[in-house]
Structure 1
Amino acid sequence: MTGYCPFRKGTLLILSGPVNHLHIVMNDPVYYPERGYHGVLLVNISTVRDGRKFDSTCLFHPGEHPFVIQQSYVVYSEAVVKNAEDISQFVNMGEFTPRAPISDHLYERTLAGFHSSPRVTPKIKRFIKNYMQLE
């Protein structure tokens, strides 16, 4: 049986709190020696809500991705490196749902935000610097 493998620019619907949020896969799996597995960096987007503070570093507008129907923002503070094999298993079990990849333009905007958002943790900055091969 062939299974899902996370890939750069791929997206996944993952239950986060009471609702599914769109998560962006920022890199192809890469060996992550700090954890001893092949990892991918995931970051989710969330809907902008009136009266609630949010990180405005990178906004997604309705229609920029098929899942985005309201203005949304990238939640850099919740970016996380996950085991690529675990992601594959969750997709194959139906826990995570693959969606359409993001465009090159959205990927570049999202990636640029990792360098400018004040909410990116040092651990994530280190992963990007040391393990993501940026073209």
Structure 2
Amino acid sequence: MVGNHDSGDDEGYEDKIKDNTSWDAKAGDTLLVPSGPSGNHLFIVLFDPQSPIDISFGKKLHLAQVNFTSVRSGMNYDSTCIVEPGDHSFITHKSYVNYSRLRYEEYEPIKRGVQNGRLLLHEPVTYDLLCRIREGAITSNKTPTFVKYEIQKLCEYLKMTKSA
């Protein structure tokens, strides 16, 4: 059985990585997404696939994802959620969660991208890091307004239904 990362259970994840044709997104999963000359960016799935609360998004399942971006000397960056080496194996130097580039996209095209190998699975984030990232999505003034409501409602729902 594949672990449910919303509950903090990572058991069985290695089996899931080996067979990307059976991948079903879970909160905390990470995807390497091609991103131009700099290579791949690591995107973090914030919640299990969800039907949007706001009907203007339609009724298809959606994924909310954010990425880690390296902190460079002299740059301005969103310090809401800083990630250091040791927080995740992909992180080799100080980085931040780039809420300004948060994606809220239909799930099926992402799933197909994983299945056909265009998007690569990486090790999931820990439950503690996932919670920090979610909280930051609500508090950051860089999170796009159009999706902040969705994230707030999903976090409220999780707090009501789980003791995490």
* TM superposition score normalised by structure 1: 0.92
Cα RMSD after superposing both structures: 1.6
Q: Which residue of 2 aligns with 1:97?
A: 120
| Number of equivalent positions | 135
* Distance in 1 between residues matched to 2:79 and 2:149, nearest whole Å: 22
Task: Decide which moves more: 29-38 or 40-49.
Answer: 29-38
Q: Which residue of 1 aligns with 2:45?
A: 25
Paired residue type of 2:141: P
Could you say which structure has the greater relative contact order, defined with CA pairs below 8 angstroms and 6 or more residues apart?
1
Quote how far apart the aligned CAs of 1:40 are. Answer: 1.0
* Distance in 2 between residues matched to 1:35 and 1:49, nearest whole Å: 38
Quote how far apart the aligned CAs of 1:80 are. Answer: 1.3
Q: Which residue of 2 aligns with 1:76?
A: 99
Residues 45-124 of structure 1 mapped to structure 2, 5 A cutoff: 45-124=68-147
| Residue pair 1:5, 1:84 contacting (<8 A) in 2 also | no
The structure with more strand, counted as a fraction of residues: 1
1:9 aligns with 2:32: no
Q: Partner of 1:107: helix, strand, or coil?
A: helix
* Distance in 1 between residues matched to 2:58 and 2:93, nearest whole Å: 36
How many percent identity over aligned positions? Answer: 33
* TM superposition score normalised by structure 2: 0.76
* Distance in 2 between residues matched to 1:100 and 1:16, nearest whole Å: 19
The structure with more helix, counted as a fraction of residues: 2
Q: Partner of 1:134: helix, strand, or coil?
A: helix
| Residue pair 1:6, 1:25 contacting (<8 A) in 2 also | yes
Instruction: Mark the runs of 5 or more structure 1 residues left unpaired by the alignment.
Output: none
